[in-house]
Amino acid sequence: MVALLLVGYPALWRYSRNAVTIAHEGAHGLAALATGRRLAGIRLHSDTSGLTVSAGRPTGPGMVLTGAAGYTGPGLFGLGAAALLAAGYAVGLLWLLLGLLALLLVQIRNWFGLWSVLVTGAVVFAATWWLPAAGQSAFAHVVTWFLLLAAPTTVVELQRKRRRRAAPDSDADQLARLTGVPGVLWVGFFLTVDVGALALGTWWLLP
């Protein structure tokens, strides 16, 4: 219910969406490194947008995978978190999140991004350090459900912006220019992955 409020209540979503941007840009960065590209920096903005810059071939599979990772990343991160929780590793999940945030921190290239990652890391660290075991497990579940629910929500928002022609350089449109596949099909792909992650994560987490 807490995760649902963070995603579904506009006054809260305005702020909690910054956490999704961190996951989104972090996924771009991980995909860039995994495909042999050189990560040049990540910027997070106060309007919950972000930018990940990588160097390498401007076309090809590496660029496509890097572009496709953004909107699918939060859902896949949530699915991985659900797998760890289902296996009983709630505390391990929180320390893993701290490690990923620390790796992301060294790639941040603007003050708002630095502040966002530091605040997020401080919240996760406080949960691991001061909460009792039951509290840590509850916090880990909130984070996991938040990622699973937020991922498809951001894809729906993306398509609304595209319908109003307010996002001409979105990930879907950049991928359309790279591959020739229409942007709406890329949006459908993002949504399929994220809804699939939500469904599978729900199956793992609920009794």
C-alpha dihedral, 76 to 192 to 34 to 99, nearest 10°: -20
Site of tokens 């793992």: 204
Percent residues over pLDDT 70 in the chain: 100
pLDDT at 88: 95
Mean pLDDT of 7-30: 97
Gap between the Cα atoms of 142 and 11, Å rounded: 18
pLDDT at 19: 97
Q: Is the dihedral of CA 49, 52, 53, 57 positive or negative?
A: negative
- pLDDT tops 80 at residue 60: yes
pLDDT at 131: 96
What's the mean per-residue pLDDT of the chain? 97
A 10 A CB-CB count for 174 gives 19
pLDDT at 207: 74
Mean pLDDT of 141-170: 96
Mean pLDDT of 97-121: 97
Site of tokens 């390498």: 56
Contact partners, residue 143, CB within 8 Å, separation at least 6: 81, 93, 94, 97, 124
Gap between the Cα atoms of 61 and 175, Å rounded: 11
Q: Are the CB atoms for 66 and 185 separated by under 8 Å?
A: no
Q: Is the dihedral of CA 40, 79, 160, 179 positive or negative?
A: positive
pLDDT at 106: 96
Q: What is the pTM of this model?
A: 0.96
Mean pLDDT of 147-151: 98
Contact partners, residue 68, CB within 8 Å, separation at least 6: 31, 171, 175, 186, 189, 190
pLDDT at 108: 97
pLDDT at 13: 98
Mean pLDDT of 124-149: 97
